Structure formats: C-alpha cells, structure tokens
Structure 1
Amino acid sequence: MKAIISTFLLATLLAAGQASAHHSFAASFVEDEIVREGVVNRYIFRNPHVLIYMDVTGENGEQAEWMVEGSAATSLRNRGWTAETIQVGELVRITGMAGRDGKLMISLEHVEVLDPDTRTVLRNPSLERNQGQAAPTEIVSIPMQLPDGRPNLTGAWVQGRDGPGFRNHRLPPFNEAGDALQAQWDPINDPQVACEDPGLVRQAGFTPHPVRIEQFEDHVVISYEEYGGVRTIYFDNRDLSDEYRRLGQSMARYEGDTLVIESTHIPANPTGTPGHWLSDRTTTVETYRRLDDPTQGPMVEMEMIITDPGYLTEPWEMVWKKLYREEYEFIPVECHAPY
C-alpha cells in the first residue's frame, strides 16, 4: 500500500511521545503514514507501551508478524482502553507511521476492528488525546499532616490536568560540553528503546505518570508507574556506599512541612525523551510538599534541583504537581524492544 507523507501527523505523534511514552517515537518511526490489516495474535495492555502483534499477509501471499506500538497503557486507560479492548483473533486495520529502517512496525494512530468476511468496520476504539489525566469526579479530603506532625504525602498521586504548573521542566542550561553532546542526540540511541532502566532524573523528575509514596518511621518508599521503579530511602546513612546506582544513593529528611531527598552517585544517563544527557557528577535535591487546591483536591508538588558541573552552567529545575487518587492501581510494566 502506498505510503503518504504526513509531516504534521508525525509532529503531533512526536509531541505525544514526549509526554506519555518511555522513549521518543522518532526512535522507531519515520514520516511515512501507512495502513496495514492483520489478525491479532497478541495484545499487551502494559506500560511503557500498549502493543498489538498481528499477522499481515503481503501481496505475495506470505505472512509476516508486525508490531503495533501505542502510547503508555496509563494514557490509553484514561481514554477508555482496557486489557479487553482488542481481542486475539480479531482482524484489525491500523493507520500510523512506518517503522524506522524498514522494520515491520507501525505506530498506533487509528485502529478499526473489521468483519473478516465483509471488511466492514465493527468498531474503532478511540485514541483521542485528552488534556492530561482527568481529575477524580468527587474531590476527597485527606489530612495535610500525619498524626505525628509530618506532612501527609502518603498515597497515589496522578497527573493533573495538563496545563501550566502541573509539569514545568525548563530546558537544561548546558555548558559547551553539554551542548555538544546534545547536538549528537539520536532518539534511536536512547537506552530506553532497548528496555534499559532509566536513571534517577528521568524516573523521578521527568515522568508525567503516577507516583505512590509510603511513609514509615525510618524511611519512605516511592514507587513509579512509569518504568516500574521503586526507591526505599532511609533517614540515615545505613544504605549509602560509594557504588553508583541507577537511581543514585539517597538519604531523606523532613524540614518543616516538606520531605527533602538528596541523591548522589548517579550514573551518566539521558534524562528524558529529548536526550539531555547528564554526567556522573550529577547530584539532585528533591523537595516534596502538599499544595492542596479547593477545585481539584489534595495535591503534591515535587521540585527537583539538579546540579552537574560536567554539563550544566547552573542548577536545573524540574517541577511537577500530581493529584491524590484513591484506590489507584498501577499498570504493570512489560517492555518489548522494537524489532
């Protein structure tokens, strides 16, 4: 089937990929819009990407398996998708961007489930992009403080309405070395494309996805829906060493109504889908505080101050705000590297 050049659609896709995917879609796809029909043999409703594997019969009569890659399951769940939306054995028609370097891949931009005999459309699950994750319909109230006076950060905190303030990540203030490294960035070299685990800044600062915080007497546990990372951070140095760890070496403390976490020994790593590599001299300070909103409910703000004398001229800030969500369940992670 003839490919149609659609630069606008790719730009839209890339913007969405930056916001809700674990790697940039430019790592896997090019500017050619294509259509493929095939029979579903696997449907994986997991993070970091919803995947459909389908058997496609070519013009020569030979069958080949294609990978269809969509947004994060977290994002598609907000658009009504579930683990039952697509069924194995269904005939589907997928419209999206062609795989990079001729790979048998297509991005999930439009999907139609077809009648196998007549090819008429039976249904087309919506892929409309909402403005961020909807806030709960009923605003709940939880105490600002725990009984012992510490700030009450416990619970699941989800992405708020996507607007100014909910996610404020300015561009990194690179020095000459950082600029030179960024100029060489190619999304195909993103370690997350190969399903490698991310570093601290990407996991804790860049993520637009839900976070769960648990508070204990001598430590806190922070879990992330994106990538499935879990951090156990003590209020003393019992867990610290000279070893470089993916999520760094961290120690926590309370300062008034805030939780402060300082981290060192962070390996060099890209900090998001645009690249933005930092060196292994990076240190971070995270500050968590409650900033409730009467129109949306309980809220947590996280500010991360990032210092890197290797690639930055000055500290770099990342800020996100997330809303409290009762009984929120994380979607498991099952990463599949592209063909």
Structure 2
Amino acid sequence: MNKIGCFIATAVLFPSLPASAHHSFVAFDEESAITVTGTVTEFRFVNPHTYFFVDVANEAGETVNFRVEGETRNDLYRNGWRDDTLAVGEVVSVTVNPARDANRRYGRLLSLVKADGSFYDIPNEEDEAGKRNRVPAASLEGVWLPVQTFREMFAKIGPLGTERARAEQARTEEARLTPANVSCYNYALLPFQLGRAHVFEIEFVGEDLILVHGEDLEFPRQIHLDGRAHPESVPVEEMSYMGHSIGHWDGDTLVVDTRHFRPRPGGNTPYPSGTQKHLVERYRLSEDTTSIIIDWTLDDPEYLTAAVSHSFEWQHSPHIVRQPWSCDLEAAVEYLK
C-alpha cells in the first residue's frame, strides 16, 4: 500500500471547499482526502497562505518532509489559530486534499488533530456563525463577508477572451512558472475580489466619500460622491489597479462607476486588463437587510469580446473583526515549488 506516515489511503469524496487563495487550487485533488501523521518541522503563520511541514515515514521507512498549505493567516486566525498553535517537534495528524502529482509530497489543509486532542478545521467558526445568525443592517456601512462565488464569474468570463487576451494569458501562465516573476502585491482585482470570502468593511466619510477596506487591500478603495467626473485621461504610471471610482445614489442603491484601471496580467481574471476596462457596480441591501447584493457589469474591449454581468452577495458580519493586510513573499511563491 502506498503511504506516507499514517496515510488513510482510501480516497473519499470530499465537498469542494472555498478557493480563497491568490492562486488556483487546481494542483490538489479536491474530491479526495488523505490523513498524514508526523512531526512538525516548520510553521509559517502568514498571508497569503499558511504553511507547515511535517516529517513522516514513507513505505520504505525513510523520513520525508510533507508540506501542508492552509488558508490565509486571517482566515485561520478567525478559526482559533495563533502564532503558537503549532510547535516544532510536536506530533500532529493532518487531513488534506492531496496534490494531483503524486511525486509532490504536498496537500491542502482540511483539518488537524494535535496529540492533546485539540482539533482545528475549516471553514471558519466566525464566518459560519455569520451565515447562521443573520443580522440586519441599517445601511451599507459596516463589516461584510462575501459569499464566495467568483468561480461562477470565471465561467462567464472564460468564453469572452479575445485572441490577444488568450495569447497574453498563456505567456503569463508560462512566466509564472518562475518564482522570480511572482511577488506580493495588493490584491486589488476588480470585480474578482468582490466575490472572495475575505472580510470587507465599508466606511462612510461624510457625504462625499466612501472607503472600502479589505483584508486583501493594502490601501482602502476610494469612491467619490461629490459630483466629480472621471479625469479625461490619466498617465498609465499614475493609474491604480483599483481604478478611479465615482458614485451616486439611485434611491437606496449605491451606483459606482470605475475607469482608468492600470493594465495588468490577470486584471480580468483569468485574462489581462487594459486601459479601456470599465466597471459599473450597484450596491443595495437585500430585502431582509442582512446582505448587500452587488450587481455589476464589466467591459474591456481590448481583452473581452463582450461585456459580462454577474452578482455577488456580502453577508452582514458585525461580529467579525477585520484583520489588517499583510503578505509574506516566501509564502506567496511557495506553491510554485
């Protein structure tokens, strides 16, 4: 039997879990789960992914190192993880989605049991509590947790890539095989980021400015409501990945128009984005006021053959404390190894 440590070699059907990462989980078999038991050799409790490493014995009795990739530090922190949750030298049993490539001793964290019986799993307790205990909101202001549906967005955008978009995407994917081309960056990818299950906080700054803070955002997004128009032109080097956003109220609905996005690979995930990218969002409270419904339309004629529309839902989560943005470069490139 092929095993590493105490592998449960039976492949069990496992529900697909949120892919809340800065890269795809395509490397893992999300329909299978195995359990490995061994001794912790390293623990990195960081963003954009937590990693820890476990020494285990293979079927030949040799010690090999198994790598476990977890959710973001922020996600795991809300589920009770801390900097001292794991210590080098302690024995743990970890259940993971195994890597599709059997030669990679690598898995995606599902749950962990320590020698003292302590149990840690995902999804987050605080996140799940917000889904069970719906809290009405008085306005759009407050703390919100998106219902993760960006994969549905991918399905809509996928068929719309221009020939140029597909060619540039292929070159980018090939370049990303080299860690030197990967770095920590402010994850300001609109509208993709709006459908990621990472916490947002909307702040009204008087009547003329709204700030949208996010655990993926190094700096808050600014939405101007003072009646200004977009600049006629903006030099590319002065453009922002979040673009220039202006807004107005249509009754109780906040309408946001964003242009002047800085071009970037993957800006229209999975395709690149150009200077003609244009996003319109409409934010409104749900009928029971426990959620925000975001209806949006994206257009970028340079890279998309047609405009695409979709909706996201953010659940009111006043019980959650938004964690600050941070990114560890070593963790950002670890998945490439």
Secondary structure of residue in 2 paired with 1:82: coil
Cα distance in 1 for residues equivalent to 2:166 and 2:10: 27
Cα distance in 2 for residues equivalent to 1:187 and 1:254: 44
CA 1:275–1:62: 2 relative to 1, 3 Å: same
Which consecutive residues of structure 2, in runs of 5 or more, have no partner in the other structure? Answer: none
Cα distance in 2 for residues equivalent to 1:76 and 1:257: 35
| 2:145 equivalent in structure 1 | 158
The answer as to 2:242 corresponding to 1:247 is yes
1:186 deviates by 4.7
Cα distance in 2 for residues equivalent to 1:298 and 1:128: 20
1:85 deviates by 8.2
Taking the TM superposition and a 5 Å limit, the aligned residue runs for 1:167-178 are 169=153, 171-172=156-157, 173-177=159-163, 178=165
Read off the aligned partner of 2:204 and give its amino acid letter.
Q
| 1:147 equivalent in structure 2 | none
The answer as to 2:91 corresponding to 1:91 is yes
| 1:222 equivalent in structure 2 | 212
CA 1:32–1:69: 2 relative to 1, 3 Å: same
Taking the TM superposition and a 5 Å limit, the aligned residue runs for 1:294-305 are 297-305=289-297
1:184 deviates by 7.2
CA 1:6–1:171: 2 relative to 1, 3 Å: farther
Cα pair 1:85 1:125 within 8 Å, conserved: no
| 2:176 equivalent in structure 1 | 189
* Residues 101-136 of structure 1: CA deviation (Å, up to 9, x unaligned): 966643223433237xxxxxx344334799x84436
CA 1:71–1:325: 2 relative to 1, 3 Å: same
1:220 deviates by 0.8
Cα distance in 2 for residues equivalent to 1:299 and 1:54: 41
* Residues 222-260 of structure 1: CA deviation (Å, up to 9, x unaligned): 011235552123235599643222211222222322222
Cα pair 1:22 1:48 within 8 Å, conserved: yes
Cα pair 1:175 1:312 within 8 Å, conserved: yes
Cα distance in 2 for residues equivalent to 1:245 and 1:7: 48
1:62 deviates by 7.3
CA 1:216–1:246: 2 relative to 1, 3 Å: same
Q: TM-score, normalised by structure 1?
A: 0.70
Q: TM-score, normalised by structure 2?
A: 0.70
Cα distance in 2 for residues equivalent to 1:8 and 1:185: 34
Cα pair 2:56 2:64 within 8 Å, conserved: yes
* Residues 179-209 of structure 1: CA deviation (Å, up to 9, x unaligned): 5566778599399974333343255433232
Secondary structure of residue in 2 paired with 1:245: coil
Cα distance in 2 for residues equivalent to 1:278 and 1:202: 12
* Residues 74-116 of structure 1: CA deviation (Å, up to 9, x unaligned): 55567x443278332322233432496966643223433237x
1:321 deviates by 1.4
Which consecutive residues of structure 1, in runs of 5 or more, have no partner in the other structure? Answer: 116-121, 144-151
| 1:118 equivalent in structure 2 | none
Cα distance in 1 for residues equivalent to 2:9 and 2:174: 20
Read off the aligned partner of 1:83 and give its amino acid letter.
R
Secondary structure of residue in 2 paired with 1:109: strand
Secondary structure of residue in 2 paired with 1:171: helix
Q: 304, 321, 327: which is aligned to 1:329?
A: 321
Cα distance in 1 for residues equivalent to 2:201 and 2:53: 31
CA 1:320–1:8: 2 relative to 1, 3 Å: farther
Cα distance in 2 for residues equivalent to 1:34 and 1:256: 53
The answer as to 2:196 corresponding to 1:213 is no
| 1:26 equivalent in structure 2 | 26
Secondary structure of residue in 1 paired with 2:156: coil
| 1:263 equivalent in structure 2 | 258
| 2:130 equivalent in structure 1 | 135
The answer as to 2:296 corresponding to 1:310 is no
* Residues 125-153 of structure 1: CA deviation (Å, up to 9, x unaligned): 334799x844366554443xxxxxxxx21
Percentage of pairs with the same residue: 23
| 2:49 equivalent in structure 1 | 49
1:303 deviates by 1.8
1:155 deviates by 0.3
